[in-house]
Amino acid sequence: MEAPNPAIPWDRDELTVGDLAARSGVAVSALHFYERKGLITSRRTSGNQRRYRRETLRRVAFIRVSQRVGIPLADIGAALATLPGDRTPTAKDWRRISQAWHDDLDARIEQLSRLRDHLTDCIGCGCLSLRRCTLTNPHDELAEAGPGPRTLLVEGLESDGA
Amino acid sequence: MEAPNPAIPWDRDELTVGDLAARSGVAVSALHFYERKGLITSRRTSGNQRRYRRETLRRVAFIRVSQRVGIPLADIGAALATLPGDRTPTAKDWRRISQAWHDDLDARIEQLSRLRDHLTDCIGCGCLSLRRCTLTNPHDELAEAGPGPRTLLVEGLESDGA
DNA sequence: TGTTGACCTCAACTTTGGTTCAGGTTAAAG
DNA sequence: CTTTAACCTGAACCAAAGTTGAGGTCAACA
């Protein structure tokens, strides 16, 4: 299919799992794991050894970056699954799937900032300001102030020692 | 020791595990777990049931807040261990140990922001800009460019398809 | 041709933060 | 006094993201 010419060295465009590990900085066991999870694929040699396309290096890079961003492997896998299977992904493809992470990062930075600001308030008041601040109240669950003892941490906290 | 006067209702200043669960919004099983890990403590009744001091409510609140901030339980436990054992923690005590989380949050927000900006660059260039950006290079490990094949993801990535 | 070093699979183990279950005890209300 | 809800312990289980080890094969160098 791809006219492998043994005379041309850069024709060796397949990577062993060890090559991939060395160049990606990811352990062989992790690469096996990614493959079991379907995040990367390989063909097998006659001796049942894995051979990866060079493109896989980029996939692994994407996986690593995504993990740094804090995305779980399952989500990364879902994103990778939207890449075309019939051709090598283009810059546009990578741009598209990276965009989702960017939005996600924005949201998480925003959330952490809010958390920090609340924490500042709480530190400022010196008592974690449990009745007044939403810190102890993860998703504004007090708003749904429904049945049972859903007052969470609020009651009794302002009144104890400290 | 504490002259319990059965005539005064708010003398009931101990909480059962169920009370604590209801007021903190944390499952009984999680409270048991925290106790096994040493994050909270209880005395036992003659019938071997746990009784928590009201102060424990604040500890649990602190644990929950800290977890939202993304601190692992072990670190939370270490922080709680610095609280005085001989007296009820003061506002100042809580302020001190909360401050560490604030600094941690600052650092993590900063890191995520940098990550996001790099990601923007990479999306901008359309190819994850693997040679030029530090995204794939977690802790600037290239700087320590020592032995072996520590070039991580860099080589060969710019040259493959996509 | 022989012997390393790299590769293979499968299963078990790790850590974190818990939940669920089984089997048994306590406490409080009727 | 009985019954029921809440409590107790210990063990097993869950997910995520792998690592480690055992036992066996493959390939490349001398």
Strand B43-44 relative to strand A50-53, pairing: unpaired
The answer to whether the CB atoms of A119 and B65 lie below 8 A apart is yes
pLDDT of B56 reads 94
Helices (H), chain A: 17-24, 28-36, 55-69, 73-81, 91-125
**Which nucleotide shows the minimum CA-to-C1' distance to residue A51?**
C7
**What is the C-alpha to C-alpha distance for residues A67 and A88, in angstroms, rounded to an integer?**
22
Choice between A112 and A129, residue whose per-residue pLDDT is larger:
A112
- State chain A's mean pLDDT as an integer: 75
pLDDT of A136 reads 54
Query: SS3 letters for B62-126?
Result: HHHHHHHHCCCHHHHHHHHCCCCCCCCCCHHHHHHHHHHHHHHHHHHHHHHHHHHHHHHHHHHHC
Helix crossing, B73-80 with B91-125: angle to 10°? 150
Closest CA to A101 of B115, B108, B71, B134: B115
The answer to whether the CB atoms of B153 and A24 lie below 8 A apart is yes
pLDDT tens profile A23-53: 999 999 999 999 999 999 999 999 999 999 9
pLDDT of B138 reads 44
Nearest residue in B to A139, CA atom: B68
Low-confidence ranges of chain B (pLDDT < 50): 1-11, 129-131, 138-162
Yes or no: say if B91 and A57 are a contact pair by the CB < 8 Å rule: no
Interface test with B, best of A10, A142, A160 (most B CBs within 10 A): A160
Coil, strand, or helix at residue B54? coil
pLDDT tens profile A77-118: 999 999 998 898 888 888 888 888 999 999 999 989 988 888
Closest CA to B109 of A111, A67, A63: A111
Choice between A162 and A107, residue whose per-residue pLDDT is larger:
A107
Interface test with A, best of B31, B135, B137 (most A CBs within 10 A): B135
The answer to whether the CB atoms of B150 and A115 lie below 8 A apart is no
pLDDT of A143 reads 29
Residue A7 pLDDT > 70: no
Residue A139 pLDDT > 50: no
Reported confidence tier of residue A119, pLDDT bands at 50, 70, 90: confident
**What is the C-alpha to C-alpha distance for residues B23 and B65, in angstroms, rounded to an integer?**
15
